[in-house]
Amino acid sequence: MANELKIRPLEDRVVVQPLEAETTTAGGILLPDSAKEKPLRGKVLAVGPGKLNDDGKRSAVSLAVGDEVVYGRYSGHEIEVSGMDLKIMRESDILAKVSN
CA 39 to chain centre: 10
> Could you give the CA distance from residue 66 to residue 45 in angstroms, rounded to a whole number?
6
pTM here?
0.76
pLDDT surpassing 70 at residue 33: no
List, for residues 43-97, the tens digit of each pLDDT value: 999 999 998 889 989 888 899 999 999 998 888 999 998 888 999 999 999 999 9
- CB within 8 Å of 39: residues ≥ 6 apart: 18, 19, 20, 21
Q: 2-20+37-98 maps to which CATH number?
A: 2.30.33.40
Domain boundaries, the chain: 2-20+37-98
